[in-house]
Amino acid sequence: MPTRTPDDRPLVLTGSHTPDSGGGGTGVAALRLDPATGHLAYDSGVPPVPVSGASFLAAHPFLDVLYSTNEKASGSVTALARQGDGTLIARGAPVSSGGANPCHLTVHPDGGWLLTANYGDDITPGSVAVHRLGADGRVGEPTHVAVHEGSGPVAGRQEGSHAHQVLVDPAGRYVLATDLGADAVFTYRLDTRTGTLQRAAVNRLCAGSGPRHLAFVLGGELVFSADELSSTLTCHRYDTAKGTLTAVATVPATQARDVVNQPGGIVASPCGRFVWLTNRGADTVAAFRLTGTTPEPIGETASGGTWPRGLTYAAGHLLVANQHSGTMAALRVLDTGALEQAAPAISAPSVVCALVL
């Protein structure tokens, strides 16, 4: 198999909604980031893969395999294997996610399980599915689907449960799943013998907040939530022994006034001093400095487009997926935690997420 000349620019794989999932994107595409300039460019040696509804991507910790959601009513997940020449090919057919509109996934640190958050729809409640992964990274049928229950006060968004993210805590002890519809974070233990989730706790968050995504701060004792419906950022203490969250501070996600705003992606800095989140509506990325448990606003930077959904850290930059404008932007992280536009945004139709390899 031919190999490619090594490229020291980080590889950035983007996910987008394709025409059959309500967008105009190509599925999974490959970019390169120049760390010196923040310039993004398409990798011509890696053709796009037309994965339908590629709304989130996650990498296997040990194999050259990545996974994509297929965010549609008949939800599924797809495995893609990287070849020696850099190209991506499907490893097996798409496998049912066990629910509707899967929007997030993660690979368990032991490499044996894929966890998928199904947002659900008006009929199907939100849920979290467990898939066994083969030795080659192939996705098996769901071994368990944990269905969420609950609702909230926001009409049109919280009539039922809507799982939005699933992740493993830094200690690898618990699986956490945010639920925007139920105003909750569900905590599970994963039985790695049977592939089943055992509920350990239900963390009830502020009514009407709509928790979307979480980001753990270095050390794992603090976790921040991007609250989509209340347009806030909340700091929680995390009990590593019980897997429970206790809210200790909440601040506005944006300083913009007279705009309907919905926070999207959230990232904590590798050093543990800063947190950033995207603002869909204000079309900014907000930066916060961590002083104790209180996030202090540093400032906001234009996202390089409209409706910034995904946010990813890479080589001293934040990569912003601007869904409605169809642009990917790189914002340089300064020593203060503030951001600046590093280079012009690049066209990426219907882009919603990025994965850095």
Q: Which two tokens stand for residue 130?
A: 């467990």
DSSP H helices, the chain, are: none
The parent domain of residue 105 ranges over 11-356
Structural domain tally of the chain?
1
pLDDT of residue 292: 85
- As a whole-number percent, the residues of the chain with pLDDT over 70 amount to 98
CB contact burial 243-258 (16+ within 10 A = b; e otherwise): bbbebebbeebbebee
pLDDT in tens, 299-356: 999 999 999 999 999 999 999 999 999 999 999 999 999 999 989 999 999 999 999 9
Residue 77 lies inside a defined structural domain of this protein? yes
Nearest to 58 by CA among 109, 95, 21: 109
Assign residue 301 the CATH number of its domain. 2.130.10.10
* pLDDT range class, residue 291, cuts 50, 70, 90: confident
Residue 214 lies inside a defined structural domain of this protein? yes
Residue 112 lies inside a defined structural domain of this protein? yes
Mean pLDDT of 12-24: 91
pLDDT of residue 1: 42
Answer yes or no: are the C-beta atoms of 48 and 73 closer than 8 Å. Answer: no
Instruction: Name the strand (E) or helix (H) holding 41.
Output: strand 40-42
Residue 6 lies inside a defined structural domain of this protein? no
- As a whole-number percent, the residues of the chain with pLDDT over 90 amount to 92
Mean pLDDT of 75-95: 95
Give the full edge-to-edge strand order of the sheet including 102-107. 102-107, 113-118, 127-133, 139-147
Q: Which two tokens stand for residue 14?
A: 């983007």
Residue 246 lies inside a defined structural domain of this protein? yes
Tell me the sheet residues that pair with 347: 327
pLDDT in tens, 209-239: 999 999 999 889 999 999 999 999 999 999 9
Residue 132 lies inside a defined structural domain of this protein? yes
Answer yes or no: are the C-beta atoms of 320 and 341 closer than 8 Å. Answer: no
pLDDT in tens, 163-175: 999 999 999 999 9
Residue 3 lies inside a defined structural domain of this protein? no
Residue 5 lies inside a defined structural domain of this protein? no
* pLDDT range class, residue 5, cuts 50, 70, 90: low
pLDDT of residue 219: 86
What's this model's pTM, rounded to 2 decimal places?
0.95
Answer yes or no: are the C-beta atoms of 33 and 317 closer than 8 Å. Answer: yes
